[in-house]
Amino acid sequence: MRCEYDVSRRRACNVIKMNRSSYYYKTSRDEQLALRIRIKEIAATRVRYGYKRIYVLLRREGWKVNHKRVHRLYKLDGLGLRHKKPKRHICAVNRILSPIVTATNECWSMDFVADQLFNGRRIRALTIVDNFSRECLNITADHSLKG
């Protein structure tokens, strides 16, 4: 589809001060298809292997390849290891939404708060808060409050 503002390639390259040979350049680099296939095979059979272990296996098999190329091809094919989520985030997924509060004294929350005194002794406080008014109804503080 041509537009009324089409400019020739020669003129466009001239305007942006680019060599036309750079515009028409076609890469002749080998895509290393055989190496990419072998990396995918190793990654499929050994799921927990990262690119460094795959690099070692390739070298043992006789491939003349360095670790930077293996890393580039490994990332290019999207074979990065998937990291597990920390267990502390699992409970947040299953959390039930809190009910919508419309008046005071409908819903309260309580939580333990901890701090440390100047002499190093720990102090814990149990706080009870009204969810609607955000008013603190009670605070109980002690050195040895148990959960």
The predicted model scores a pTM of 0.42
pLDDT of residue 143: 87
Q: CB within 8 A of 38, min separation 6: which ones?
A: 58, 61, 63
pLDDT tens per residue, range 125-140: 999 999 999 999 999 9
Pull the structure tokens for residue 133: 């008014």
pLDDT recorded at residue 3: 59
Q: Residue 43's closest CA among 31, 55, 61? A: 55
37-94: pLDDT as tens digits: 999 999 999 888 889 999 999 999 999 999 999 999 999 888 877 666 666 655 555 6
Q: d(Cα 19, Cα 136) in Å, to the nearest integer?
A: 72
d(Cα 53, Cα 42) in Å, to the nearest integer?
10
Cα(42)–Cα(20) distance, rounded to whole angstroms?
42
User: In the predicted model, is pLDDT for residue 147 greater than 80?
Assistant: no
Q: What is d(CA 123, CA 137) in angstroms, rounded to the nearest whole number?
A: 19
